[in-house]
Amino acid sequence: MGIPGAPMSAVADPNVLVKKNYVTALKEALFEEMASNPDLICQGEDIGILGGAFGVTEGLQAQYGNARVVDMPISEACIVGSAVGMALAGKTVMAEMQFIDFISCGFDQIVNMMATYHYRTAGEVNMPIVVRGPAGAYGGGALYHSQMNEAWFCNAPGLRVICPSTPYDAKGLLKAALRDGNPCIFFEIKELYRKREIMEFLPEEDYAIPLGKAVIRREGSDITFVSYGQNVYHCLQAAVELEKLGVRAEVIDIRTLVPLDEDTIFTSIAKTSRLIVVNEAPMTCGFAGEIVARVSEKAFEYLDAPPMRITRLDTPVPWAKPLELHVLPSVEKLVNAALKSVKF
Amino acid sequence: MSRNSGTVTANKATVTSDVPQLRPRDLLTKDDCLELFRQLYLARYFDVRLIKEKRLGHLTGTLYSSHNQEAILVGSLFGLKPNDWISPIHRDMPAFFLKDIKFDWENPERMGMSIEQVCSQVWGRVDSPGRARDNWSHIGSKSKHIIHSTSMLAGTIPVAAGVVYADRLNGGDAVCITFNGEGSTAQGIFHEAINYAAVHKLPVVTVIENNQWAYGTPVDLECPTNDVADRAKGFGIPGLVADGQDVFDVYDKVMTAVEYARAGKGPSIVECKTFRAYGHGDHDDDRANRYRPKEEIEAGRTRDPISICRNNLVALGYLSAEEAEKHRADGKNATEAKNEDFPPEVVAYLSKGIDFALKSPLPAAEEGAKWVFREPQ
């Protein structure tokens, strides 16, 4: 499955260069930033000798040594807390969570220590730290290897929250995050890590994607899907199905939740008058609700139908396939919701 | 009295390490010793004066008294190099100005906070190092090497470890002292961070101010070992026990740990046995007199660190009997102690800070929404 409407990378000759997957894009970002920023330190569980549970840091320690690529004891709180200390001493840190589910073990250090540091010190101290890790369901990972807990961090002022859906974005956003100077929580979609269908050419030259800029993955005039992460692909598939039924759906990938590109969303709704927001996280107090709230407050007059949320049910992510698929957003759920919206 | 008692005059290392035979205090000069004594008065006066100011209605916010625990701060900080880092918590307010103050109280360039800055913070004024954005001890300074704490106890230990990790990468030899209560040693992050520091032999000295009470819970219900310092055994690092009422014993033990850390041998835990004079905060003073047995409070306050230091100085011949009698702040609580009970330079020093703070404005309201994120570069 390709990404219609996705910005193509600036590569002229596919015979010379190869398409790259999402995990390779991340790896390139880390290698390049380690080379250009001698103050960058990477740390996490199994990231050095092993090269990371998913191989994102493969070869990094061999190239940059075990002082800058650090195998940490199993303590997410310490991985984040020591990163805070390094940042206080002038370093930039990439802190890997082996699974984003485990980030809860480092929660206090993230929301109370790291997120507030710049605020507490009236701008004296910056926290150039990227806490990144594999996230997301649909892979049979069950309760503790499937989470999308991004909403927790959107509710903690001081954190950037980022979730790329393509290799190009994975590399460009990770570079931007590592240069941003603010603490970032970076959600990688592990189901996309090695997905062949989304491999793409990456620019040879250095690039970073500005945080807070959404991208329109598919243009349409009848209804707007807003999503991020792997649900973007469900939206795109739903748009293909809907087109067969005469409904032209626009698909927006917000890419960063904090900061949020409201303008791209509002501009789309001004055209389509209908909105469905899709995310994998549970519905109650999820980020889909935040987008619906902002649209209701600031773009109400554009709407011809109630904005809708298609999210995980308010349940954990269960293991057995029928259970997992039952609670998650699906193409079928999106098509049905869109048809309901256009008939309103 | 709890078995983990503050009245034990302990003088032992629970894990033997290469402790030098010559005690660190043996290298202190007469002037050093007299400066330590003066700093005990300064820390005590800070506490006494703030309690008085609060009672006069001149202060808002909770006070966390360091009364009876001053020797831990003074003795721990005295031997540090200017570039060393510290991480004080709520009961350590004097640490902010005591850092690197040795013989140089008025120097604005020293690697510690000025009394004006600290008082501005206490009064919630804009000249606070944190522009009064968080309260009481939640200040720090990147340039002065003081880590900013939160209310989550033991939460600065991993930060301290990260700071010295980075310093070591840069070729530095800085040590970081983190101050913690005995109650915080039950936190997971206490163990996670010291484990990490021990694995990497990071120069982190964890000072435990064991004042026997974590808010309203006695140490027996917080820690199962005889000494809190015994927790060091699990990490294979030195666990030292100091008499927290004796500034020289604190100095000996902390400096032993500091030199061990600076030599690249790794972290240590130094438990300083003491006793909390008042409540957890001043809001708790009345209740603390009820939930703590009267005999325990009386026993716990019999060994005033100022008295113990004075006796040592007289024995050393550094103070005449007449000089020793000059300022008798010891043994007096905040309502009893008067300005005459303190050396005049101590009173003048703090008064100058308070005068400055009272003239400092409150922060502008709109600053409340600033600095959530870094300004775009």
Give residue-wise pLDDT tens across range A93-134: 999 999 999 999 999 999 999 999 999 999 999 999 999 999
- Is the pLDDT confidence value at A3 over 50? no
| pLDDT averaged over every residue in chain B | 94
Residue A12 lies in a domain: no
Collect all residues with Cβ–Cβ distance below 8 Å to B335 and sequence separation of at least 6.
B51, B52, B55
pLDDT for residue B11 is more than 90:
no
Position B16 pLDDT exceeds 70 = no
In chain B, which residues have their Cβ closer than 8 Å to the Cβ of A80?
Answer: 158
Mean pLDDT score, B18-39: 91
Q: A13 lies in a domain? A: no
B221 to chain A, closest Cα gap in Å: 24
**Contact B138/A at CB under 8 A:** yes
Instruction: State the alpha helices, DSSP H only, in chain A.
Output: 22-36, 60-64, 76-88, 107-108, 117-120, 150-154, 167-180, 231-244, 262-272, 287-298, 321-327, 331-342
**Quick check: A16 pLDDT over 90?**
no
Same domain, A134 and A238: no
Residue of higher predicted confidence among A196 and B18? A196
Between residues A10 and A134, the one the model is more confident about = A134
Q: Return all residues near A158 (Cβ < 8 A) that are at least 6 apart.
A: A114, A115, A116, A117, A118, A119, A182, A183, B372, B373
Q: Would you say residue B16 lies in a domain? A: no
- DSSP secondary-structure letter at A110? I
Please indicate whether, in this complex, the C-beta atoms of A108 and B189 are within 8 angstroms of each other. Answer: yes
**Summary mean pLDDT of chain A:** 96
Q: What does the DSSP 8-state code read for residue A198?
A: G
pLDDT of residue B3: 42
Do residues B106 and B279 touch, judged by C-beta distance below 8 A?
no
**How far is residue B275 from each of residues A272, A316, B38, B72, B301, measured CA to CA in Å?**
69, 47, 21, 11, 7
Report chain B residues whose CB lies below 8 A from the CB of A82: 158-159, 161-162, 165, 193, 196
Among A75, A91, A124, the residue with its CB nearest the CB of B142 is A124
Q: Are residues A179 and A236 in the same domain?
A: no
Please indicate, yes or no, whether residues A190 and A298 belong to a single structural domain of this protein: no
Q: Do B166 and A85 touch (CB under 8 A)?
A: yes
Which one of B139, B184, B196, B366 would you mutate to disrupt binding with A, by most A Cβ within 10 Å of its Cβ?
B196
Give the per-residue pLDDT at B19: 54
Instruction: Spell out the residues 6+ positions from residue B321 whose beta carbon is closer than 8 angstroms to its own.
Output: B314
CATH code for the domain of A66: 3.40.50.970
Question: For residue A16, is it within any domain?
Answer: no
> CATH number for the domain including A328?
3.40.50.920
| pLDDT for res A7 | 46
A112–B148 CB contact, under 8 Å: no
Is residue A9 one of the residues assigned to a domain? no
Confidence of residue A220 (pLDDT cuts 50, 70, 90): very high
pLDDT at B2: 42
CB-closest option in B155, B157, B375 to A108: B155
Q: What is the largest CA-CA distance in chain B?
A: 63
Is the pLDDT assigned to residue A323 strictly greater than 60?
A: yes
Residue A207 in any domain: the answer is no
Residue B18 lies in a domain: no
Cβ-based contacts of B159 with chain A (< 8 Å): 81-82, 84-85, 88, 113
Asked, for residue B20, whether it belongs to a domain, the answer is no
Same domain? A190 vs A333: no
Q: Is A144 helix (H, G, I), strand (E, B) or coil?
A: coil
What does the pLDDT average to over B297-319? 97
Could you give the C-alpha distances from A141 to A136, A146, B126, B180, B287, in angstroms and in order?
Answer: 9, 5, 51, 40, 51
Task: Say what the pLDDT of residue B268 is.
Answer: 98
Is A145 designated active site? yes
Q: What percent of chain B has pLDDT over 70?
A: 94
Residues of B with Cβ-Cβ distance to A160 under 8 angstroms: 373
The pLDDT of residue B56 is above 50: yes
Domain contains A15? no
For residue A230, which of A261, A253, A262, A258 has the smallest C-alpha distance? Answer: A253
Indicate which CATH number applies to the domain containing B353: 3.40.50.970
The contacts of residue B308 (CB under 8 Å, 6+ apart) are B71, B245, B246, B247
The pLDDT value recorded for residue B375 is 86
Contact B162 A182 (CB under 8 A): no
Query: A174 and A29 in one domain?
Result: yes
- Say how many domains are in chain B: 1
Q: Which chain B residue has the Cα nearest residue A210? A: B376
Q: What own/partner pairs with CB < 8 Å and gap ≥ 24 does A298-302 have?
A: A298/A262, A298/A266, A299/A265, A299/A266, A299/A269, A299/A270, A302/A266, A302/A269, A302/A270, A302/A273
CA B287 to chain centre: 24
> Is the residue at B374 inside a domain?
no
Beta-carbon contacts below 8 Å between A and B: 136
B25 DSSP 8-state letter: G
B333 touches chain A (CB under 8 A): no
A160-162 and A256-258 strand pairing: antiparallel
Residue B373 lies in a domain: no
**Residues B331, B200: Cα–Cα separation, whole Å:** 44
Can you tell me which residue has the tokens 């400092």?
B360
Task: State whether A219 and A185 are in the same domain.
Answer: no
Model confidence band, residue B7 (pLDDT cutoffs 50, 70, 90):
very low
Mean pLDDT of the region A144-169: 98
H-helix or E-strand containing B110? none
Q: Do B142 and A116 touch (CB under 8 A)?
A: no
Same domain, A194 and A287: no
* Same domain? A126 vs A221: no
Return the HEC string of B198-216. Answer: HHCCCCEEEEEEECCEECC
Does residue B229 have a pLDDT over 80? yes
Q: Which domain holds residue B126?
A: 30-359
Searching chain A, which residue's CA lies closest to the CA of residue B367? A122
Residues A316 and A224 in one domain: yes
Q: Report the residue of B371, B375, B377 to disrupt the A interface, i.e. the one with the largest count of A CBs within 10 Å.
A: B371
The C-alpha of B376 sits at a distance from chain A's nearest C-alpha, in angstroms, of 9
Give the count of domains, chain A: 2
The nearest alpha carbon in chain B to A259 belongs to B373
pLDDT digits (tens, 9 = 90+) for A45-103: 999 999 999 999 999 999 999 999 999 999 999 999 999 999 999 999 999 999 999 99
**Tokens read off for B284:** 């708790």
Establish how many alpha carbons lie within 13 A of residue B80's alpha carbon, considering only the half-sphere containing its beta carbon: 32
Check residue B76 and give its pLDDT. Answer: 98
In a domain, B62, yes or no: yes
Q: Is residue B12 part of a domain?
A: no
- How far apart are alpha carbons B131 and A289 in whole angstroms? 35
Give the CA radius of gyration of chain B.
20
- Contact map slice: B 194-233 vs A, CB within 8 A: 195-196, 199
Residue A17 lies inside a defined structural domain of this protein: no
Instruction: Provide the shortest C-alpha distance from residue A138 to chain B (in Å).
Output: 33
Last residue of a domain, one of A171, A198, A225: A198
Look at residue A277 in the predicted model and tell me its pLDDT.
98
A49 and A194 assigned to the same domain: yes
Within 8 A of A180 by CB-CB distance, chain B residues are 374
Asked if residues A158 and B372 have their Cβ atoms less than 8 Å apart, the reply is yes
Contacts of residue B27, Cβ cutoff 8 Å, sequence gap at least 6:
none
- Rounded distance between C-alpha atoms, residue A166 and residue A149, angstroms: 20
Length of chain B: 377
- A117 occurs within a structural domain: yes
Q: Which two tokens stand for residue A250?
A: 């626009």
Q: Domain of A146?
A: 22-198
The Cα A89–Cα B84 span in angstroms is 12
Of the candidates A170, A198, A226, which is a domain's last residue?
A198
Q: How far apart are CA A276 and CA A280, in angstroms?
A: 13
Q: How many residues does chain A have?
A: 344
Kindly report whether the peptide bond that precedes residue A259 is cis, defined as omega within 30 degrees of 0. yes
Structure-token pair, residue B372: 């959530």
Could you tell me if residue B64 is inside a domain? yes
The answer to whether the beta carbons of residues B160 and A88 sit under 8 Å apart is no
Query: pLDDT for B105-154, tens place per residue?
Result: 999 999 999 999 999 999 999 999 999 999 999 999 999 999 999 999 99
Structure confidence by residue, pLDDT tens digits, A304-318: 999 999 999 999 999
Q: What per-residue confidence (pLDDT) applies to B275?
A: 98
- CA dist B326 and A114 (Å) reads 48
pLDDT at residue B290 greater than cutoff 80: yes
> What are the tens digits of pLDDT across the range A179-192?
999 999 999 999 99
Question: Is residue B43 scored above 90 in pLDDT?
Answer: yes
Q: Say whether both A191 and A227 belong to one domain.
A: no
CA B279 to chain centre: 17
Spell out the residues 6+ positions from residue B26 whose beta carbon is closer than 8 angstroms to its own. Answer: none
What average pLDDT does this structure show over B215-235?
97
What are the backbone dihedrals phi and psi of residue A329, each rounded to the nearest 5 degrees, phi first? -60, 145
pLDDT band for position A15 (50/70/90)?
Answer: low
End-of-domain residue from the set A149, A169, A198: A198
Report residue B21's pLDDT band, with 50, 70 and 90 as the boundaries: confident
